[in-house]
Amino acid sequence: MHFDSRINRPTITTNDVVRPTLIEVDLSRLAENYHAIREQIGSAKIMPILKANAYGHGLVEVARLVESLGADYLGVAVLEEGILLREKGIQMPILVLGGILGNQVPYFLKYDLTITASSIEKLWQVDEIAEQLGSKAKVHLKIDTGMERIGVHYYNAGGLLEASVKCKHTDVEGIFSHFANADAADLSHARLQVERFEEVLSFYEKHSLPAPRLRHMANSGAILQLPEAYFDMVRPGLMLYGVYPSPEVARTVALRPALSWKSRVVYFKVIKPGHPVGYGSTWQSDHMVRAVTVPLGYGDGYFRSMSHKAQVLIRGKRYPVVGLISMDQIVVNIEWQSAYNDDEVVLIGEMGDEAVTVEELAEWAGTIPYEILTNINTRVPRVYIERQA
């Protein structure tokens, strides 16, 4: 372990980790992505989204980094994520984006976390509890412009906005919405959502009501494709980590992945023809091959649905994973090439001139990059590196 004086924290290094399977997070690349986003958005504030363990990159470490970089706000999904950040010393504003229940409100107040108010009833409940506890709540109003999850419908938002200015124990500092299709090639629905949000915001001027200070809507897709949605603040999620949200999205900001997933060869064998590999005996070779075993599996988040499709890098070359992926082990066919115990295996990341991307794993698993990253189990240790400038 070494001490990083720039951001005042101890950083786990690869040498501290005993398990050969690990996630390596390049904090320098994260910082580069952050600065590229900052340059793109002009004067708008920035709220990095750190939900689901910062998309698998490590909630606390990423929070410490973006706080040191001068981010304006943090976004998380659930109360517990916000509490953990406070307990680990994060002092910047934190918005919990998900829906709430009344019995959670005292914890929001205790830990100075910003609440998403998605209805008049919830807003009044927050205000009443804040009064009872002699405290002041911070709230952002949630407007549903086309997602149909939480939030008051845009066509019924007037009552919520009127109620918000009557709250005596609540600082309604923000109002926001969320896109359903901002990462698509066809942006017609996304632009309709912007129009609906602007229509809601016009209510304040029409009724001479004070508007919240922070209006925000733009997720990663909108940051890349819809500058008209920047408003006062943007909310980069997946793009902060160097991954584009869809194949169709315009790549107007240069990004590089910050996460690598690595392991090591723990066993080498020669497999005779006609000797099947793994559960179900689903794969066998018709000729003699060399194979290696790597200590990870679907118990770590390496999806079983990638069986017979996944590829890894060993000694700079691509090799196929063969047989069904087990909970804790995979077998890689290296044909008649060479590999040795302790050789590095790259599951996501670069080795020499080759690279395996998150997008490839998503295609093999029949899912999206978000699910690949957020499903890497917490039993896989995260280590952090910073390249010298």
Are 64 and 37 in contact by the 8 Å Cβ rule? The answer is: no
Burial 302-321 (b: 16+ CB within 10 A, else e): bbeebbebbbbbbbebebeb
| Residue 88 DSSP one-character state | T
Count each helix (H run) and each strand (E run) in the chain, helices first: 11, 21
Phi and psi at 55, nearest 5°, equal 55, 40
For the record, the structure tokens of 299 come out as 């118990």
Annotated catalytic residue within 110, 166, 267, 279? 279
Q: Kindly list the distances between the CA atom of residue 382 and the CA atoms of 62, 91, 207, 221, 338, in Å, as whole numbers in the listed order.
A: 11, 23, 51, 27, 29
For the record, the structure tokens of 370 come out as 């978000």
Are 298 and 324 in contact by the 8 Å Cβ rule? The answer is: no
Nearest to 283 by CA among 320, 228, 248, 255: 320
Q: Which pairs with CB-CB distance under 8 Å and at least 24 residues apart come from 154-161?
A: 154/196, 154/197, 154/199, 154/200, 157/200, 157/203, 158/203, 159/120, 160/117, 160/119, 160/120, 160/123, 161/200, 161/203, 161/204, 161/209
Is residue 154 annotated as a catalytic residue, yes or no?
Answer: no
Identify the residue whose tokens are 């950083």: 11
The per-residue DSSP string of 315-365 comes to: TTEEEEEES---SS-EEEEEET----TT-EEEEEEEETTEEE-HHHHHHHH
Is residue 51 annotated as a catalytic residue, yes or no?
Answer: yes
Annotated catalytic residue within 34, 51, 122, 384? 51
Angstrom distance (rounded) from CA 23 to CA 341: 20
Q: What are the residue numbers of the active site?
A: 51, 279
